[in-house]
Amino acid sequence: MRERYCYWSVADGHYAAMMERLIASARGVGVFRDFHVWSDRRVDGARNHRLGRLDKRMFMFKVRLLREVVSRLDYDYFVWLDADSLFVRHPGDPLRPLQGAPAHVPLESDATAARRPGRYYGCPYDEYVKFMHRRGVRSRSIFTGNGGYFVVKKEAVETFTELAADFWVRCQRQGFRAFREEPALAYAAQMLCGNPYLHQMERHTDLWMPDRVGIFKNRLPASTAWTHRDAITGASYRAKPALVHAPLSQGRLARPLPSSSARGSLKRKK
């Protein structure tokens, strides 16, 4: 019988230790779903996959790996998590933000409501808005996206990844060379989701949130509330997520767990 969903990620180099801690934190709060991890070494607690040569430029590997490899796994939904994240309590159902949609990407900021001129990965907000509208997004608001956590239904992987890849290529041709995977993910989600407003990050602050300003800098995240301020619109709202994305805590997250042992590179099975 096919499992409803799995978590997946890429965690090579020092990210492997972060992933071990992430999985251990999941088990510690009662989450026992599969974690499929592509790495150059064994990650304790994961379903390990050997990571070959991977082009990490602009982080579009998330889109390519989802389409070419992850989608072959026998699950209904695939939940990506960045390795520098931590479960601080049980999140409940991580699929609930879908609300009937085939994909969910946390839509972080409304670029049409910017409080002052600025740039999103080098692209002026107004140009980003115009380009998204030209490429078919119909909503009045045009959102930026966050790639630290996203969900895609198996049957939607092909369409989702084609939309994201095509948008990214077209952005490169337009001269937006600094664009990473996040604008592409945001575009694909806004094209596939009937009501993109339901996927705004501020609507799901109990599930997953990024610690952008260093609330937990250099320490392990905890199950405490904080005020999140939108960097583009200036809006503020309360956040108390079960899953914290903590890139400013990488040094602490990367410390080996007491139970971890030195691992060699994963060998390809014969």
Reading the chain (270 residues) residue by residue, the pLDDT tens digits are 567 999 999 999 999 999 999 999 999 999 999 999 999 999 999 999 999 888 888 899 999 999 999 999 999 999 999 999 999 999 999 999 999 999 999 999 999 999 999 999 999 999 999 999 999 999 999 999 999 999 999 999 999 999 999 999 999 999 998 899 999 999 999 999 999 999 999 999 999 999 999 999 999 999 999 999 999 999 999 999 999 999 999 999 999 998 765 455 565 433
How many Cβ atoms sit within 10 Å of the Cβ of residue 49? 18
| Residue 1 CB neighbour total at 10 angstroms | 4
* 257: Cα within 13 Å, side-chain hemisphere: 17
How many whole angstroms separate alpha carbon 146 and alpha carbon 136? 20
Task: Say which residues have a Cβ less than 8 Å from residue 171's Cβ, sequence separation at least 6.
Answer: 123, 131, 179, 183, 184
In single-letter form, the type of residue at position 152 comes to V
Q: Give residues with Cβ within 8 angstroms of 256, minimum separation 6.
A: 17, 20
> Which residues are CB-neighbours of 233 under 8 A, at least 6 positions away?
109, 110, 113, 114, 115
pLDDT of residue 57: 80
- Which strand ranges, in their side-by-side order, compose the sheet holding 103-104? 47-50, 35-39, 3-10, 75-81, 149-153, 103-104
Structural domains of the chain, ranges and CATH numbers in brackets: 3-253 (3.90.550.10)
Sign of CA dihedral 183, 111, 194, 137: negative
| Residue among 270, 244, 235 nearest 89 (CA) | 244
The whole-number pLDDT of residue 54 equals 85
Q: Are 60 and 168 contacting, i.e. CB atoms less than 8 angstroms apart? A: yes
pLDDT in the model for residue 266:
61
Tell me, letter by letter, the H, E, C secondary structure of 198-243.
HHEHHHHCCCEEECCCCCCCCCCCCCCCEEEECCCCCCEEEECCCE
pLDDT of residue 53: 85
Predicted pLDDT of residue 270: 35
Are 14 and 254 spatial neighbours (Cβ–Cβ below 8 Å)? Answer: yes
